Structure 1
Amino acid sequence: MDQRHKVILLQLLLFQVLLVASQTDSRDYSALNSLTQSWSNKPQSWVGQDPCSSWDGIRCSNTRITQLRVPGLNIGGQLSSAIESLSELDTLDLSYNTGLTGTIPEEIGNMKKLKSLSLVGCGFSGPIPDSIGSLTQLTFLALNSNRFSGNIPRSLGNLTNINWLDLAENELEGTIPVSDDQGRPGLDLLLKAQHFHMGSNKLSGTIPEKLFNSSMILEHVLFDHNQLEGSVPSSISSVGTLEVLRLDKNGLTGGVPANLNRLGKLSEIYLSHNKLNGSLPDFTGMNSLTYVDMSDNAFNASNVPSWVSSLPELTTVILGQNQVGGILNLSSYSESLQLINLESNEITEIEPQNNLPSFEIRLANNPVCRESGSSENSYCKEAVPNPSFYSTPSNNCSPPPCSSDQIASPNCICAYPYTGLLISRALSFSNFSDASYYRELEQSLMDTFRNQSIPVDSVALSNPMRNSTSDNFEVTLQCFPSQSDRFNSTGVLNIAFLLSNQIYKPPEFFSPYIFKGANYDYTGGEPKSSKSSHTGVIVGAVVAVVVFIVLASLAGMYAIRQKRRAERSAGLNPFANWEQNKNSGTAPQLKGGRWFAFDDLRKYTNNFSETNTIGSGGYGQVYQGTLPSGELVAIKRAAKESMQGAVEFKTEIELLSRVHHKNLVSLVGFCFEKGEQMLVYEYIPNGTLMDSLSGKSGIWMDWIRRLKVALGAARGLAYLHELANPPIIHRDIKSSNILLDHHLNAKVADFGLSKLLVDSERGHVTTQVKGTMGYLDPEYYMTQQLTEKSDVYSYGVLMLELATARRPIEQGKYIVREVMRVMDTTKDLYNLHSILDPTIMKTKPKGLEKFVMLAMRCVKEYAAERPTMAEVVKEIESIIELVGLNPNSESATTSETYEEAGGGNAQHPYREEDFSYSGMFPSTRVEPQ
């Protein structure tokens, strides 16, 4: 081989090495693809198979994705459990995408390297997962402005590195968690936190004294607009770093702690709209104080305290609607004062009456203003809120005429700005017409954009106002692009990320702040041309010709390599050849779950050996397997004769990959290869509830355990009905589909017949009748209209099965009808002695009457008369509490399946003549037991 050929070969090898080195790790690509495949409005740059090379919002380190930052791009969809597979991620920001809905999956707690999690201003709902408390490296957590409900997870107390904790503007309820003697964590353990933002929720109870201590470095504590009661904790005074305290709009009572004046750095304090009383606190010596609002309480004072006019930095004092009397002495005052509001008090005199200071004074509805002629004084007139008309002026240029949807920037250039609301949660001034504040804010924004190399030509502020609902100060922000009339996706997400993650630091008078970005619909524009760009094109063309000569010889090799790689990828995708026909439908839309190769599953089960078999049925065999990680799994392998159930197979994969709850069986993965259909589940060691009730499993099911099982199954169903988006109707609730884990917690299994309730307004799905006889909803059977109440009916039958240990249809007798026949509410245990399971009759089962009565409400013939699963959960919880237990503590048959093709004149499924022979309904689907 001559020297020239050696050089060419070396170039080819170098090119191939560089090509391989640029590719994203295949695990991360697969995970990102699975996570986002159902998302809408993804960035246009998200094409190809190398996110690390050019995808907007993706940042990598050594081929691994470490940051997913796509705020403000109008993305829609849900956050699935596939997020956990991005195991190297340290930053996740999906803020300002209002189309992102549903719940946060528990699996997010497996992302142990996550340091920043920002989901500001999305559409997420449901509880905040406890698993977030496992993210011990987290320093920034912003979940504000969503629809999260439930309690603040106690587990957040494990986030000992957290600096920013923002849960505001949600629907959170319950008490503020603190650590206790049982070793459970609480927010008092967050010693590195500088920000507690939890306003505008439904928090109740007291503010615990234990919440604050001298080891904390808190700067902002915002608990405003909640339902908190009790007194202001004196322990707040131990946090010497505190700068802003907001406790307004609650139900606090008592006096203000006298030691609050120890907070030498406190700048703003808001205690208005509470039920506080006693003497006005003495803030003398608090020389950092700028803003005080204690209005609408029951404070009393014989005279206005001297600190009102003497503190050097104080701009605003609002003490209206209290019981402050005596004299307002203004013979000396601080030059920083802008407003003293003492409306609706008992002020009798103001001194001196002549030569009053220039700042605003409000004394309407005081005795001093009821004297003859006093109504002419400006300070006695009712204050009328004046709108602020500030708008950023142009920079010594004439604004040009722009198209209807373009706006002229301060530099007089027509463009499409990125817009949003910039909101201060604690504003230290009251003079909203003072333009100097806005100019300082504009300058600080532009300085930050330039320092971060973000292509912003100018910013404009307008429409400043005090929001009467939140009491926050809002101003509209417009960011105008440079060198183009619009931002591309990168520009938008960089601006949004800078604001959502608090990288921008505003002037002190505007801190703390949040930003709420609007949707931006103008991405895709290119920079305007110029002479330099034309020159660049010419140079680029020359270079391109040279490069083409080199790359042309490589194109063939690259094309062949890519083709082989695509073929390998298709081989790894179990649905690459999913049949597009009426039997199997379209390929599944996955949001989690692993793809397993057939050969791997065969290895994990010792070649599907008989010793690994843990169940069997008409569907096929169930095997215990062990993954390389040591995790035990249950592998459900379809028999050849049942392979026609492709739709059920696909349904179970789709549904289990998108629902995550401790009372639902988790899907680990699946296999669709070599003519096999296999589902890989988490391993549930204690088998089915049916086996335990029949005695087959050897587990002693006392009354308490049965109540816990009933509660767990109910919570799993309530999750499907209430929190899944769209709701899911299980359609086959029965004791053989309730599995029991190590602690005998119930887990709902088998989603092969489940249906999505896509049209929630209609409230039903019209579909052919499927389910298991004995559990089947009569109204669904008659109308073919499947509703969430169909699951409630099946669950009611399950409750009766728990109480009696009888199969729903046994020797031709239907359990619901049998209970109704012997039930007498005037007698002990409702006269059910003859039908109850003897196992639970050794001691009188407390709450059994309520349990049976609830079951009978669930099996009402008409769906409208049945409770919802959420109501069922609450009632079972109350029964467990009646027994004397905490419903939230950890607890240590085959019926015929009925399938009818719909149509015709349906009869009631449980006619009397049906009980003569239970085998009249042929079994078309038998689950492995």
Structure 2
Amino acid sequence: MLYFIFIITTFLLLFIHSQLTLSLNQEGLLLLQFKNHLTDRNNALSSWNPSDTTPCHWLGVTCRNPTKTPVTVTVTALNLSSVALIGPLPAIPLCRLPALTTLSITDSFISATIPQSLSACRRLRHLDLSQNYLVGTIPPSLYLLTDLRHLDLSFNNLSGDIPAQLSQLHRLEYLDLVSNFLDGPFPSSLTNLKSLKYLRLAYNLFAPSQLPSQLGQLANLKVLWLSSCNLIGPIPNSIGNLTCLENLDLSKNKLTGQIPESVSGLNRVIQIELYENALTGALPRGLGNLMRLRQFDASDNKLTGTIPEELCELPLDSLNLYNNSLEGSLPASIARSPKLHELKLFRNDLVGSLPSELGSNSQLHIIDVSFNRLSGVLPVGLCRWGKLEELLMLSNSFSGKIPESLGNCTSLRRVRIGNNNLSGKVPDAFWALPHLNLLELNSNSFSGSISNLISFAYNLSHLRISDNQFSGLIPDAIGSLSNLLEFHGGNNKLSGRFPDSMAKLIQLGTLDLSYNEMSGEIPGWISGLNKLIELNLAHNSFGGTIPKELGSLSELSFLDLSNNQLSGKIPLELQNLKLNEINLSYNRLSGDVPPHYATKNYEMSFLGNPELCVEESAKCHGSKGRHYRMYVWIFPLATISFVLGVALFYLSHKKFRNKKKCSNVSKWRSFYKLAFDEFEIVKLMSEDNVIGSESSGKVYKVVLSSGDVVAVKKLWGATNNGNRTGFVGSEKDEFDVEVETLGKIRHKNIVRLWCCTNNGNSRLLVYEYMPNGNLTDMLKSSKKSLLDWPTRYKIAVDAAEGLSYLHHGIVPPIVHRDVKSNNILLDNEFRAKVADFGVAKVVRETSQGAESMSIIAGSYEYAYTLRVNEKSDIFSFGVVILELVTGKPPIHADYGESDLVKWVLSLLEQNEMDHVIDPGLDSKYKEEISKVLNVGLLCTSVLPINRPAIWRVVKMLKEAATVPRSQSMMEGILPGFHIELFSGEFLHRSVTFRRIWTYSLGCHIE
């Protein structure tokens, strides 16, 4: 009997245990079912072990009562960030977890649509699926999650309307839909969410909509971020009811009218951003009520009136009111703001002087008051705290001297105080600022000499001191400026000879010392400056002969040696140059003009040289012997000329008819002095020398009779109405865009357009030939081994400098809009040049600031936003950097549903740096490669505002090869960044290092 009871008891215990085990494992089994529906490429969920008794110790799993008896354990939260899960979201297993309140799967590869079944997770309070690849619409059924407090679907590819049903989520406090493709009207129904504290809808494609007047009902709102939401009309007065608001950002919309007076009631606000709208009228009074206001940005509008005194009395960190029509003076109270670090007031109509204490009471970093009517002296305390980096005061009426205190401001990086009335001697220490990259003093009345201490300004790349009264010798110390790209010193009183140390300036692209008092000979070592594009030494006292070494400057396009005392013959080697302009007039030159220049095209280039002879016309100026011989032979020559003339007329007429018959070429335009014509080009084109075929036409390699080689792009016939297929709106034809853009550009890193022709059916663009083709082909061909890291680094810098010239070197600037490795061409020395401007866009100033572009071109930017501007070029160039580092293309099957950018980020987040770098690169360059990679990651930031301007990209790339770095690649939030190279602030939260660095680079003419 006892034995029977023992058996029964044992059986019951085993049965209870088995049932208990099944109950305890049920939630774990559901989670395993969830995992099995996805691809865990990096095995990040390896800790999800089926043999465990509970899932409470698994990665990302949080349980209630995890230390209690197993029967009481329940899963309450699933937090998975950056684990690279791939596939659609399996909601059903998760919604069977009875106590699940938090579901967060961010920065991963979750794709497809948001499942309707997710609405079955009725206990959810926190739902975060941001930074994935979700598509389709937001399910209206989400309104069934009645307990939801936090909903984040930002940085996906969602489209359509925001469902009105979401307004039934009455407990919702946080709604984030930033950076999607939502394109319905602005959802006024959201104003019913009375509990909402954070509303973030920025960077979407809403239909043109007004802000609803009911906005003021959201009385608990702390953050309202509606940047780039296609908002129109006025800001409603009800916005003043948002008394809890701390951050208001309505930037980059098309709002009109004035800033409502009611905004003064937002006494808790910390940051207001209203830039790039169409706000009119005066800044409202009553802003002084915003006692917590720290950042105010109403730039790029149509504001008038004066800057309110009460606004400047607030303890502001940043005040941006540039590109408006503000008048009056800057209130002195702004100088008493203890935290002011940024003051941007450029392009207004401000008058008076700057407050004398400006900078004395605050750690000022940036001041830009350019293009106003300000006067008076520069405040002596601008850099009292040693933090000032940018001093920009162009085109005002400032007078007096540069304060001696600025000579101690070693933090300065950019100084632009040109076009003022400043005078006196520039302090010696001011020439020696070690971090200075740009020094612009032109068009003032400065005197004295260039200090020898300039050798300490080793970062200087742009020196602009023209139109002053500088005198004395150019110091030998200038040869220490190894990064110098341009030296504009024209219209001064500089004297003496070239210092031999200038031979070291091998990066120099522009040298302008015209209208000075310099003497001696032009040195032969100038041939070592092989990046020179422009050489202007006109109106000096240079003597001796023109050095033949000038003929080796292959990049030179502008040469002016006029009004000097040069003598002797013109070197034949100058014919090697592809000059856009040459001027040797008013010297003492003699002999024959080289045949290439003995044409009417150059007849104004040699005036005032009486001993020069142009052989082609047999006219020798100032030589009696030659005049006499010409007189003796005039009658025989006349007879011969008559006979030959008749014969030539017959032959030329016949040749003309034949050429017209075969080519019918018209509208020939050349942008350089050429030794060939359109007929030769057409004659030599054949299908045998096609070197490429594009959607727009074919590219031919043409070897001319002179031995020179050119590349000829033959475009297909014009599209309907002159519009290029695939364009939206009224865009110019690709041919016209290319001609208008490249025809006026002269830069060593921009491919040269020699000439073009258009007869309607056959449209030809003739470029310089680039023997090594484009970067894409090089990276995937057998020649890839030639691209070692130093070569790839040089390609990155070259391409960046080309883009920098487009964005900042010409007025108006040009946005390429199709930056990619296919359009980066390589010459025989692997120097990179940016090409293909068929979809480029000139950014012209309008009454509302720089015009924006919404046309989709070839830019990778389309992955994130339809706003195509210079930041789109930055993103696309960042992709090129990643290609150079990884050796991989932007899109490839190896990435799955991802792309190169996300593939790189996913590996870096797993500390897999070695798998990112192209294995063919020498490991000794790893540290430098990692720095360049970081620059590429900055350029590919999802939000355009986070991307640095291209001039900063150039600087960072150059410093990547020169600045030592002690941090390891994966150290810190943003790995491997040098503190002096990259500075920024965290956004609202640190989701991943690719999104957190914010740059304030909105300078008007960077």
TM-score normalised to the size of structure 2? 0.38
Normalising by structure 1, what TM-score? 0.41
Higher relative contact order (CA 8 A, sep 6+): 1
